[in-house]
Amino acid sequence: MRFSRLAPLAGACTIAALVGTTALTPMGNTAQAAPTDGTLADIAISDADCATGAPTFDNVITAAASALRTVVPAPQLVAYDQQVNEFRQTVAATRIHRNLLPVDPGTVGQRLDDIDDPIVTYIVNGLDAVRTGRMDTTVTVSELTVNDAIEVFVLSNRIVKIPTQMAANMVPRVGYMLRGMVGGMFKGVHRMARVIQDRVGDTCNIPNSYAPLDLSFTDDEIYQSFEVPAHIEDLANQLVLASEDCRPAGGLSTRQIFERTRAYLANHPELPVDRDTLNNAHDSIQAFLRDHQVAGPLVMRPVEELGPIPNAIDYGPLTFLTNLGFDIHQGRLLDTVPLADVSIENSGDLAYAALDSASLLISLASMVAGIGGFASSAVLTPINIAKVMAFAPAKYGWPIMRGVLRSMCAAE
């Protein structure tokens, strides 16, 4: 009997072990060891032990092998255990770049954990890995956990959400409502995955009959260097993970952005820039930003400061109207703010609100035209599709960019 022939059955046992044992075994249950016979599985399991935490791939393999071991004839146990060990060693020898996989946002930073957008986490962690030199660090597949696999699903769910919402938004007349319904469905799947991760981490690990692998020989091993494009490396070196001691990049004002841009261009040795012309242009722009004011309601608060409902929906017109209500209540409706003090995040949020408002008006106009018989679906449908495609880059890109800007600070 070769272990390789049992791979499909091992996968089935893996699922059964995870769903049955991990989901149903409460904290504090004792693990009973099967009788041993002097083979590789002759390992005592303490009744008092209840190791918690997400099981690794090696834990899953050994749990599946332990389940299969109960049906292996006694004369073949030694050979079976040897094949299991060889398979485990093969998996342990397979290495991957850790930072090419999605990670738990809580392991990267508190702000990422609060935002909990897997695309944002993936981008921020990747940029930080490039800046700190972690991009070449690898781990064995055996060390990856079930929760790491769930993170891949969470990221895939978030990526698939974008084209699905786009497709829903193209439905004539009711597309903008379907988009919200589809978004809510994907968000529910996301939250369910997080609940499963928490449950997996809080229950007893699946007992098995095999000794832990010795992975000391793989520690700090560097795999084939991962080539990072020069422009990505340059960007990564300009940003650091946000902390309580720094101001997020999204909070930088237009004045600060132009100052940093001038400094970068003036000090870049490979750019043939006339320093005097650059400085004069910078001074003119700063004077314009300082001397021109914008209405206070156009400088919107961060959406999380507006309450749980606007924060959950994060819909441009609603966010703008809620901000306007705060300004009226606080007597700031007629206040003005210099352009120099408007932040990157606020500029993006304002553009996002304008985009959402334009999209809503076009959808409502199409609905009225269709109901009133002023235009046929042959005319309205292409218009609606063109609107969705034209607005898509900003509509689906800005929330991700805003999350990145909130999670990273400009490097000094």
DSSP string, 308-335: HHHHHH--HHHHHHHHHHHHHHTT-TT-
pLDDT over 90 for what percent of the chain?
A: 26
The model's confidence at residue 7, banded by pLDDT at 50, 70 and 90, is very low
Does 150 score more than 80 pLDDT?
yes
Does position 370 have pLDDT exceeding 50, yes or no?
Answer: yes
Which of the four pLDDT bands, split at 50, 70 and 90, describes residue 378? low
DSSP reduced 3-state for 239: strand
Q: How many CB atoms lie within 10 A of CB 346?
A: 20
Residue 250 in tokens: 């999204």
Q: What is the pLDDT of residue 137?
A: 83
Of the two residues 67 and 46, the one the predictor is more confident about is 67
Higher-confidence residue of 1 and 83: namely: 83
Task: Indicate if the pLDDT at residue 147 is higher than 50.
Answer: yes
DSSP-assigned letter for residue 299: S
Q: Is the pLDDT of residue 301 over 90?
A: no
Beta strands 293-295 and 336-338: pairing type? antiparallel
- Assign 335 to helix, strand or coil: coil
Tell me which of 183-197, 227-241, 352-366 is least confident.
Answer: 352-366
Give me the pLDDT at residue 181, please: 87
Tokens 């055996």 — which residue? 142
pLDDT at 155: 96
- The confidence score (pLDDT) of residue 78 equals 92
- As a whole number, the mean pLDDT across the chain is 79
Whether 304 shows a pLDDT value over 70: the answer reads yes
Taking only the tens place, the pLDDT of each residue in 69-118 is 889 999 999 999 999 999 999 998 888 888 999 999 999 988 899 899 99
pLDDT value, residue 163: 92
pLDDT tens digit sequence for 336-364: 889 998 988 888 888 888 887 787 777 77
State both tokens at 321.
Answer: 């109207």
Predicted local confidence at residue 112, as pLDDT: 92
Least Cα distance to 135 among 10, 6, 226 occurs for: 226
Torsion of CA 143, 148, 149, 152, to 10 degrees: -140
Q: Which helix (H) or strand (E) holds 42?
A: none
